[in-house]
Amino acid sequence: MSCRGEFKTPGGKLIAVDFDVVDGELRNVVVTGDFFLYPEEALPILTGALEDSPITLDEAGYTARVRTALDSSAELVGSSPEALASAVIRALGACQEPEQSDGG
Amino acid sequence: MVAEISSLAPEELARWRALPWKLLPAVPRPPLLNMALDEVLVEHVGAGKRQPTLRIWGWSAPCVVLGRFQSVRNEVDEEGAARHGIEIVRRISGGGAMFIEPQGAITWSLYAPLSMVTGMTFAESYRFFDAWVVDALRELGIDAWYAPLNDITSAAGKIGGAAQARRGGAVLHHTTMAYDMNLPLMLEVLRTGQEKLSDKGVTSADKRVAPLRLQTNLPREAIIDHMVQQFRGRFGLEEDALDPDEIAEAEQRARERFAIAAWTHYLP
């Protein structure tokens, strides 16, 4: 299953998340958008916070993972851990079989 | 004319005036070199090798400039861009995609020590770095204002947007304003207004843009001249040029870092 969700913070920026669902977990997480992240090199921290997360978490659960990972070392500007968590929840509600799926 | 210019508090004005600003006037340069120069110059200011600098950009070719964290296919129609010979480059700062034509955009960068924004939030620093331009536009009779987080806007629509990156002790703040816009061409290149790959797709370029040319009769160069004059009058500004080492370093970095797919397409 391939999933994509987006969340635009009101008065702020768009954050989008793409991932696959494998064995009930988020895999191959990619985070994109026109948000700001300082330092920029912290992008793998954002994706790493979600990678291998169970699909059963709620929004607060994903928010906590992202917030804990960013800690004090990186800051989202124009977006937030809550916004990213919202994008994940939206993505989980919009998963599709990949076009080249063999049906398995 | 707008009579009163009051967008910087006295304490903020003092921060600007405390620094010995250099001006790098517009020289048309290839998009990749413009990307690389931003990184090299902010590093040099951070390392104390260059004084705080205002660089006015010149463009020698049209391009799409992607924000640091944007997906190429979500923002750009690569076939449309290729059809029109429009290069796709990625800058070091976050924010949204811009479609650039050399005479259609007014772009500048500020490279300043981080100490200039001590105690400010990111949002405050965006306003702080764009305030002088808002004032310059208002002096030209354009009813512009700053709109958080990072826009310069007007009643007619968005004029421009800013982005920042920070590198060891220095901050890069760069802003692009639309002077003129070839909307049909832009729609062939940016995915704004096109059917998106994602059905819920929204791009940052979706906001209605109101180019300066629709709001003033002044030529592009006259607006830039006025901005520079405004900066010089309020903060002090001494004309400078890139030194050969800076150009050589930026050219090398343009080739070895900014031109390669691992940078431009790292988020495909």
- Which domains are delineated in chain B? 10-264 (3.30.930.10)
Question: How far apart, in whole angstroms, are the C-alpha atoms of residue A73 and residue A38?
Answer: 9
Contacts of B92 in chain A (CB under 8 A): 40
Q: Does domain A2-92 have CATH number 3.30.390.50?
A: yes
CA distance B242 to chain A (A): 26
Contacts of A5 in chain B (CB under 8 A): 200
**Can you list the positions of beta strands (E) in chain A?**
2-8, 14-22, 25-33, 36-38, 75-77
Query: What's the number of CA atoms in the CB half-sphere (13 Å) around residue B195?
Result: 0
Contacts of A35 in chain B (CB under 8 A): 69, 94
In this prediction the ipTM stands at 0.93
- Selecting from A37, A39, A94 the residue whose C-beta is nearest the C-beta of B69 gives A37
CA distance B48 to chain A (A): 20
CA distance A90 to chain B (A): 11
Question: How far apart, in whole angstroms, are the C-alpha atoms of residue B249 and residue B14?
Answer: 33
| A37 interfacial to chain B (CB closer than 8 Å) | yes
Q: Tell if the CB–CB gap between A13 and B204 is shorter than 8 Å.
A: yes
Per-residue pLDDT, averaged over B181-188, amounts to: 92
The tokens for B201 are: 């797709």
Q: Which residues contact B151 (CB under 8 A, 6 or more apart)?
A: B158, B159, B160, B161, B162, B207
- Write down the pLDDT at residue A99: 67
- Selecting from A12, A35, A39 the residue whose C-beta is nearest the C-beta of B166 gives A39
Describe the crossing of helices B220-235 and B122-139 by its angle, rounded to 10 degrees.
120
Question: How far apart, in whole angstroms, are the C-alpha atoms of residue B254 and residue B144?
Answer: 34
Per-residue pLDDT reduced to its tens digit, A76-98: 999 999 999 999 999 999 999 87
Per-residue pLDDT reduced to its tens digit, B210-236: 999 999 999 999 999 999 999 999 999
Question: How far apart, in whole angstroms, are the C-alpha atoms of residue B252 and residue B103?
Answer: 26
* Interface probe with A: pick from B127, B149, B192, B257, most Cβ of A within 10 Å: B149
B170, B209, B174, B213: which is closest to B68 by C-alpha?
A: B174
Residue of chain A whose Cα is closest to the Cα of B206: A14
Question: How far apart, in whole angstroms, are the C-alpha atoms of residue B76 and residue B187?
Answer: 10
In terms of DSSP bridges, do strands B151-154 and B157-167 run parallel, antiparallel, or are they unpaired? antiparallel
Question: How far apart, in whole angstroms, are the C-alpha atoms of residue B238 and residue B49?
Answer: 16
CA distance B211 to chain A (A): 21
Q: Are B205 and B192 in contact (CB under 8 A)?
A: yes
Which residues on adjacent β-strands are paired with residue B238?
A: B22
Question: How far apart, in whole angstroms, are the C-alpha atoms of residue B1 and residue B40?
Answer: 38
Per-residue pLDDT reduced to its tens digit, A23-66: 999 999 999 999 999 999 999 999 999 999 999 999 999 999 99
- Selecting from B122, B165, B204 the residue whose C-beta is nearest the C-beta of A40 gives B165
Share of chain B above pLDDT 90, in %: 90
Q: Tell if the CB–CB gap between B122 and A30 is shorter than 8 Å.
A: no
Q: Are B121 and B150 in contact (CB under 8 A)?
A: no
Q: Which residues contact B233 (CB under 8 A, 6 or more apart)?
A: none
- Selecting from A11, A40, A75 the residue whose C-beta is nearest the C-beta of B148 gives A11
Residue B208 belongs to what H/E stretch? none
Q: Phi, psi at residue B15, to the nearest 5°?
A: -65, -40
- Write down the pLDDT at residue A98: 75
Least confident of B15-24, B51-60, B174-183, B185-194: B185-194
Tell me which residue has tokens 């600007």: B16
Query: How far, in Å, are A60, A74, A86, B47 from residue A81 at the CA level?
Result: 10, 11, 9, 33
CA distance B126 to chain A (A): 11
Q: Tell if the CB–CB gap between B202 and A14 is shorter than 8 Å.
A: yes
Contacts of B150 in chain A (CB under 8 A): 78
| A87 interfacial to chain B (CB closer than 8 Å) | no
Q: Tell if the CB–CB gap between B149 and A12 is shorter than 8 Å.
A: yes
Q: Are A7 and A80 in contact (CB under 8 A)?
A: no
B174, B183, B188, B185: which is closest to B208 by C-alpha?
A: B183
